[in-house]
Structure 1
Amino acid sequence: MLFPDSLGAPSAISVSALALYLKEVLETNDILQNIWVHGEVSNCKNYPSGHCYFTLKEGDAQLPCVFFKHARLRAAAPSLRDGMALAVNGRVSFYERDGKLQFYVDAVMSLGEGALFRKFEQLKARLEAEGLFDSARKRPLPMQPTIIGIVSSPQAAALRDMIRTLRNRYPLAQVVFAPALVQGAEAPASIAAALDLLNEHGEADVIIVGRGGGSIEELWAFNEEVVARAIARSRIPVISGVGHETDFTIADFVSDHRASTPTGAATAAVPDITDWQKDLADKQQVLTALILDQLADLKDQMTYITRDLQRASPQNTIIQRRQQLDEYTDRLQTHMQHIISLQAERLRGVSLQLHSLSPLLTIARGYAVVRQQDQTVVTSVQQVQPGDVLTIQVKDGQLSAEVRPS
């Protein structure tokens, strides 16, 4: 309520005061403190603490519910999941921090499966019977894709996460984006058309169909038959990355590979280049070690071969032979010198003998040597005839003489 102040201007109460007032109004209404409400469970989240948060839906209306651990244990309640039809007992209150009305559950009663869950199971059974889920028809993902096709909403944070993951893991790949609605009545046809468009384009090696988490209604487009058929007829392998780890859709069963999240789908689509870099570094280290080992072995072999060559080398023999040659040369020179000395002595002896026998000595004493023209020594008058010309050798020269009769 607004109350005018002394100046006529209205005064306002604080948000905290209003929230507390709403909380008191709801909690003091006896009808709202012990009431049964029925609907279908959606967006169910079970936390490690044991608390369960979900939305109870019917038609276009929804009611946020909280089922605390102590209440679950006291009521021996079964595990809740999306698609269950429940009747819940509890009270209505106002949660000041989030500014929203909440239903605090004390007990639950299962009413079977909800309409959405039954629709999901019926389509799943029919497509499975057709063989669309068979592992034999699922194709392997390319090891090194060149082009990645993505079907998602342009405004989705999941799209940014996928592109960032692809760039970080494998910047060599290109991305071809086919925008589509991923939520609402027109989303199934939009997703199917985007898949068909990428197949017509034909350059993508793999296609990612993804969106972030949400309630069963928000993810329902991926449970529609038109999307399942589009994935099944795709000539290009398809990876589904819809919602969170616990979310399963019909698209997951038909796709060639199911990832728990859009980021997981991007991770599955491409290799991690850091793994390649690490593997390359490891191989380079191994190769370097092998080369160094090989070089060390070759060095050892070279050392052994050098030693063998040195041992087998003729150099040592040549050195030895040179030394022997020097020794032989020295000995030969000594021997030759000795022989020459002996021959010189002999020559001197013969010379002395010749000298002592030389007619020159006789001539020197006043004798002469008479020779015919043919140098024959005349020792008898019988050797010459009158008219022969003779040569007479005396001490200091030669004389010519003619023989005359006596």
Structure 2
Amino acid sequence: MDNERILSVSEFNRLVSDYLEQGLGAVTVQGEVTGFRVARERLVYFELKDERARCLCFSLTHEMAQPLEDGMEVKVTGVPKIFQSTGGFHLRVQAVELVGEGALQKAFFMLKNKLEGEGLFEERWKISLPRFPERIGIITSPTAAAYTDILRRLNERWGGLTITLAPVAVQGADAVGEITGAVKYLNESNPVDVIILTRGGGSMEDLQAFNSEPVARAVFASKIPIIAGVGHERDVTLVDFVADARASTPTNAAELVVPHRREIIQNLANKEATLVEALERELHERAHQISRMLSSAWHAIEFHMQEVKGLCARFQLSLSHIAHIQLRFEERVAQLSRRLHALSPKETLKRGYSITRVKGAIVREATGILEGDIMETELAKGNINSKVM
């Protein structure tokens, strides 16, 4: 007994916990959820039970990708451990998988109501799809028929595109983490114009990754528009509600991403015909307007031409009248000139008259003449000088 090892309670709990964890490792336990509760807003407790036993399970809220409530049938993967403080046995949860359509449906509507209540489905958050994308990201399994269907349909409709595949598992334990990682990768490390998130049809259990909260929130948070093309038309997943567009099938997703070249060519032809028709109509209207303007201008010109002709006629008449007046004036001037000429001293002298001057002054009467004065008599031709005796 001297060599007996004495353990403290803490050491014992730690030893048993390590033994369980290392000895058993991770185990998967299936049962019905009961006593589900969240303590201090981050500690999750619930029990799994069957007809004969119960097992306590523990997790943290941020680790719970699946909403749970009492009565659900689930598979819980975790590590058996001992609480250090109380010594209580529990299963430390690593993953939860719903079992059965009923449980899946219940979890689907619980999470749907939660996300809808937060406003994640509202149209105001939707990003418009680019009309002519050049780089397209596809998140799916590289071996899925959906992938080859999308590639074929893209090449049929448009072609010349840069396709980036983000390969993921579309079901199983790794699907949720890989899909959220692919959305982040295409947003941050290899940006594209639009993303197609797709897989083929399957049961609700097969599509469970696309109904998980992490995937739904990752799709909602994407800055690049995402088209969800999950399953067939009858399949509805939560990513359909948070995605920017929903396609009924994977091939329909390709049809939503790019237009068909025939549609574009036809649209261009229709627009060309519409433009030509509009141009012809505009030209016709403009020609009609110009014709009306020219007609109005011609009538105005004719009107003013008539006015100009009238003014010219009146001007011509005025010129004739002025010429007549001028002629009469010239004749009158000539007549007066002749009369004036006839009355000039020179002409008078020619008729036999003479002009006598004494000392330069014209003699008009004899009384002013003195003896000895020298008189100068001007005749029509020549002068006579004489002395008064």
Instruction: Output the TM-score relative to the length of structure 2.
Output: 0.55
Contact map agreement 1:208 1:239 (CA 8 A) in 2 = yes
The amino acid of 2:317's aligned partner reads E
* Alpha-carbon offset, residue 142 of structure 1: 0.9
Partner of 1:302: 293
* Alpha-carbon offset, residue 209 of structure 1: 0.7
Alignment of 1:194-343 (within 5 A): 194-201=182-189, 203-204=191-192, 206-211=194-199, 213=200, 216=202, 221-224=206-209, 227=212, 229-234=214-219, 235-236=221-222, 237-249=225-237, 251-252=239-240, 255-269=243-257, 274=264, 277=268, 280-281=271-272, 284-285=275-276, 288=279, 291-292=282-283, 295-296=286-287, 298-300=289-291, 302-303=293-294, 306-307=297-298, 309-310=300-301, 313=304, 316-343=306-333
Contact map agreement 1:223 1:250 (CA 8 A) in 2 = no
- CA deviations on 1:85-111 (whole Å, 9 max, x unpaired) are xxxxxxxxxxxxxxxxxxxxxxxxxxx
Partner of 2:165: 177
Contact map agreement 2:139 2:182 (CA 8 A) in 1 = yes
Alignment of 1:7-406 (within 5 A): 117-118=101-102, 120-131=104-115, 137-138=121-122, 139-144=125-130, 148-156=136-144, 158-163=146-151, 176-182=164-170, 186-201=174-189, 203-204=191-192, 206-211=194-199, 213=200, 216=202, 221-224=206-209, 227=212, 229-234=214-219, 235-236=221-222, 237-249=225-237, 251-252=239-240, 255-269=243-257, 274=264, 277=268, 280-281=271-272, 284-285=275-276, 288=279, 291-292=282-283, 295-296=286-287, 298-300=289-291, 302-303=293-294, 306-307=297-298, 309-310=300-301, 313=304, 316-345=306-335, 348=338, 358-362=348-352, 369-380=355-366, 382-401=367-386, 403-404=387-388, 406=389
Distance 1:399 1:167, change over 3 A: farther
Contact map agreement 1:392 1:400 (CA 8 A) in 2 = yes
- The count of corresponding residues between Structure 1 and Structure 2 is 281
The amino acid of 2:351's aligned partner reads L
Identity %: 23
The amino acid of 2:214's aligned partner reads R
SS in 2 for 1:391: strand
In 2: Cα distance, 1:377 partner to 1:243 partner? 153
Q: List runs of 5+ in structure 2 lacking aligned partners.
A: 1-98
Distance 1:133 1:204, change over 3 A: farther
Contact map agreement 1:241 1:262 (CA 8 A) in 2 = yes
Deviation larger for 271-280 or 197-206: 271-280
In 1: Cα distance, 2:383 partner to 2:105 partner? 162
SS in 2 for 1:137: coil
In 1: Cα distance, 2:297 partner to 2:215 partner? 75
The amino acid of 2:319's aligned partner reads T
- CA deviations on 1:12-49 (whole Å, 9 max, x unpaired) are xxxxxxxxxxxxxxxxxxxxxxxxxxxxxxxxxxxxxx
* Alpha-carbon offset, residue 397 of structure 1: 0.6
Q: CA RMSD in A?
A: 4.4
Distance 1:397 1:129, change over 3 A: closer
In 1: Cα distance, 2:144 partner to 2:296 partner? 72
Q: List runs of 5+ in structure 1 lacking aligned partners.
A: 1-114
Distance 1:158 1:298, change over 3 A: farther
SS in 1 for 2:233: coil
* Alpha-carbon offset, residue 187 of structure 1: 4.4
- CA deviations on 1:327-357 (whole Å, 9 max, x unpaired) are 2112221232234335545655676687998
Contact map agreement 1:228 1:251 (CA 8 A) in 2 = no
SS in 2 for 1:260: coil
In 1: Cα distance, 2:160 partner to 2:288 partner? 40
